[in-house]
Amino acid sequence: MAFASEPAALAAARRLLSEWLDNPKPRFRQEARGAPSSRPIDLLVEYGSLRLFVEYKASGDAAAVGRAAEQVKASAREAGGLVVPVVAVPFMGDVGRAVCSAVGVSWFDLSGNAHLVAPGLRVIVGGNPNRFLRRGRPSTPFAPKSARIARRLLIDSKRSFTQHELARLSGLDNGFTSRIVRRLEERDLVLREDGRVRVRDPGLLLDAWAEAYDFKKHDILRGHATARTSEELLRRVATTLERQKVRHAATGLAGAWLLDSFAGFRLVTLYVAEGVPEATLKEIGFRAEPSGANLWLVTPNDDGVFDGGAVVNGIACVHPVQAYVDLLGHPERAKEAASELRTRILGPEK
């Protein structure tokens, strides 16, 4: 199911809001201005003493949600008074919800989920599936090979690049790089200035990549190796791979421990550029054991995962931006570790 036009989507939004806000009945105005100098608001809802400024986007991806949140919050701030900034999309995913929560903006989706909270207003609805799934594979700038551009931009997020530089640093040809930069630009994730490309908002680009990323798409060999501590296991495996000249890099919780001295971990995860030879697995003491595994050896779906990596305390480790997206697909205290790394990458939240 999909809406043919924005008016149809806003009509559906009015129906949902009328169901949720029934005492008193809300009043709706489209293309209204919250303040004389502000841009028109997609949908203005008057509900008692509150005004809800609703910004609608046809996509629920992180970039679209972040852009909408920024716009509607600015409009609400300029208007003053009891104004609730709200983002509406066909379906709001986990990353979009986190983006709204981080900037203090309410949201709802046309699939029937909502988080509308303000003085005198509390509408929280969840559990409804996405009614607007598209068939086929959508075009994305975050496919394994394509993501080399986003990764490189995030590694050096304070500088700008020529397109040729991006291609050279990412190991891609100029034509492919041009297509990916254009897709990022269409999503307002990058800016072009004087023939150079730079990140518009590092946090938004990181969120957009994380939303599209799936660690399980790599080839993961799960197993167990005996060791007194996880740190000892990490160092032993890394030393063995180094001696065997197998390209590798720690990631996940082990990577977070190296990069940020994050608290202890049990699961050791390392990327290996090629399948690990049986003789090397034997030397490590590895035995395949998916249940209760303490060691993941991961053959990546693209070698770009090694970009920006460094040797930390004698062990090869991925760059913090790679470790961050990887952690989102890990167990144990991975989310806490990801939060610590995000602060390292982007700085403290303002």
At 274, the pLDDT band (50, 70, 90 cuts) reads: confident
What integer pLDDT is reported at residue 4 of this predicted model?
Answer: 52
What integer pLDDT is reported at residue 186 of this predicted model?
Answer: 85
More confident residue, 135 or 226: 226
At 349, the pLDDT band (50, 70, 90 cuts) reads: low
CATH topology match: 6-125 vs 215-346: no
Which residues does 135 contact at the CB level (< 8 Å), separation at least 6?
none
**51-60, 116-125, 171-180, 340-349: the lowest-pLDDT one:** 340-349
- Please state whether the predicted TM-score (pTM) of the whole model is above 0.85: no
pLDDT at residue 1 tops 50:
no
Q: How far apart are the first and last CA of the chain?
A: 39
User: Looking at the DSSP assignment, which residues form a beta bridge with residue 221?
Assistant: 297
Helices (H) and strands (E) in the chain, counts: 12, 17
**65-79, 125-139, 318-332: the lowest-pLDDT one:** 125-139
Fold classification of 6-125 is: Trna Endonuclease; Chain: A, domain 1 (3.40.1350)
% the chain with pLDDT above 70? 95
Q: Tell me the three state secondary structure of residue 114.
A: strand
> Which token pair is 151?
């990764």
Coarse DSSP helix, strand, coil percentages of the chain, rounded to the nearest 5 percent = 40, 25, 35
What integer pLDDT is reported at residue 23 of this predicted model?
Answer: 82
The two beta strands, 268-272 and 248-251, are antiparallel
Measured N-to-C along each axis, helices 62-79 and 94-103 cross at an angle, to the nearest 10 degrees, of: 30
pLDDT at residue 12 tops 60:
yes
What integer pLDDT is reported at residue 53 of this predicted model?
Answer: 96
Fold classification of 147-212 is: Arc Repressor Mutant, subunit A (1.10.10)
Mean pLDDT of 37-59: 89
What integer pLDDT is reported at residue 63 of this predicted model?
Answer: 83
Beta strands in the chain (DSSP E): 27-32, 41-47, 50-56, 83-89, 106-109, 114-118, 121-125, 161-162, 190-193, 196-199, 219-224, 248-251, 268-272, 287-288, 295-299, 310-312, 315-317
Instruction: Write the CATH number of the domain with boundaries 215-346.
Output: 3.30.460.40
pLDDT at residue 39 tops 50:
yes
What integer pLDDT is reported at residue 95 of this predicted model?
Answer: 82
Query: DSSP readout, 191-245?
Result: EEETTEEEES-HHHHHHHHHHH--GGGSEEEEEE---SSHHHHHHHHHHHHHHTT
Q: Residue 32's closest CA among 66, 9, 57, 55?
A: 55
What integer pLDDT is reported at residue 304 of this predicted model?
Answer: 97
Round the average pLDDT of the chain to a whole number and report it: 91
CA angle (201 as vertex; 197, 204 as ends), nearest 5 = 120
Domain residue extents for the chain: 6-125, 147-212, 215-346
% the chain with pLDDT above 90? 68
**169-173, 184-188, 296-300: the lowest-pLDDT one:** 184-188
What integer pLDDT is reported at residue 86 of this predicted model?
Answer: 97
Q: Tell me the three state secondary structure of residue 257.
A: helix
What integer pLDDT is reported at residue 130 of this predicted model?
Answer: 92
Mean pLDDT of 231-245: 95
